[in-house]
């Protein structure tokens, strides 16, 4: 065994005009989450507990798009989704369309541990949450003034905004320099940036786990489900590795991105970073995305094909890195 390793992300596709203060705030949050995970790993918590703990912290902070601070639907409400997977027996749990659960990742964990199912959505997920006694809040808890402003901009532009966090001041400079507009399922969108949080961990026993949580896209259609709650697309863990993805959800779904990392490791015999690089290059078609991954031997890797990705990683041998750009 190569010891424990952990990686976190706060979304891929960072706008190059993101103010330095926001970049620093993001780095501080990622660093705090890494230290939280490192402390848990040093206390011998299993990987599955650590990924839930870290993603809960990310959901509670409004900086990234999950939990408090989630992107808004076309109706101005929040619909969140999350998934978690435990590598040793490929146990998993996922939720979608959650509107009152303070920490969707913990509800996904309960689906895995306390229900006969792997995935619950909308009214069924909310009912299960009440049955399990998880902390519930009003939908307004998740809505920030900044996101209300971004939804207004999205509606004025008649567009789905990937970068719902670009400051309203100076918005005209953000993403406007892109020569060829990105498309989602063949339809143009305006700009592209973070939309998900995630964590992957391998513990000292070589057990891998992954967790991903998001509010989705700004101005998304009510009922839209992205890659984050889909096992094999946005989240995957097995005996070999744990993977969490972020970016253009529709492209990640089509490429079954997270599972592909494990598949090329298993069937092609690639190492972790080789597998990540291969999948980012060969499985996204024209989509934009990124991912973080750990292997059972204590390796950590990441990759992305867009402007940047909020990420951080650490290993038992003392290595630690937090970054945004390439």
Binding site, annotated residues = 224-227, 246-249
**Any idea which residues carry the catalytic annotation?**
196
Q: Do residues 196 and 248 make contact, with C-beta atoms less than 8 angstroms apart?
A: no
Nearest to 184 by CA among 213, 148, 219: 219
């Amino acid at each position: 065994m190569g010891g424990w390793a952990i990686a976190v992300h706060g979304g891929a596709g960072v706008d190059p005009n993101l103010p330095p203060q926001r970049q620093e705030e993001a780095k501080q949050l990622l660093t705090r989450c890494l230290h939280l995970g490192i402390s848990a790993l040093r206390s011998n918590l299993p990987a599955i507990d650590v990924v839930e703990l870290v993603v809960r912290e990310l959901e509670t902070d409004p900086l990234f798009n999950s939990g408090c601070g989630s992107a808004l639907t076309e109706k101005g409400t929040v619909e969140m989704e999350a998934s978690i997977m435990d590598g040793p027996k490929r146990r998993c749990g996922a939720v979608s369309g959650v509107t009152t659960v303070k920490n969707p990742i913990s509800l996904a964990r309960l689906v895995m541990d306390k229900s006969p199912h792997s995935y619950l959505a909308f009214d069924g997920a909310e009912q299960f949450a009440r049955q399990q006694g998880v902390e519930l809040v009003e939908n307004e808890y998740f809505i920030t003034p900044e996101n209300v402003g971004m939804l207004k901009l999205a509606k004025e532009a008649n567009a789905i905004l990937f970068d719902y966090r670009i400051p309203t001041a100076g918005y005209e400079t953000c993403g406007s320099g892109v020569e060829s507009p990105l498309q989602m399922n063949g339809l143009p969108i305006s700009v592209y940036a973070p939309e998900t949080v995630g964590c992957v961990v391998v513990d000292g026993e070589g057990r891998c786990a992954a967790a991903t949580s998001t509010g989705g896209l700004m101005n998304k259609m009510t009922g839209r489900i992205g890659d984050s709650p889909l096992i094999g697309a946005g989240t995957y863990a097995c005996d070999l590795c744990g993977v969490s993805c972020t970016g253009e959800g529709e492209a990640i779904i089509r490429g079954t991105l997270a599972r592909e990392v494990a598949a090329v490791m298993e069937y092609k015999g690639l190492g972790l970073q080789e597998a990540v690089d291969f999948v980012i290059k060969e499985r996204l078609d024209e989509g934009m995305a990124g991912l973080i991954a750990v292997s059972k031997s204590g390796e950590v890797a990441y990759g992305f094909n867009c402007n940047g990705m909020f990420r951080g990683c650490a290993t038992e041998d003392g290595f630690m890195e937090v970054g945004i750009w390439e």
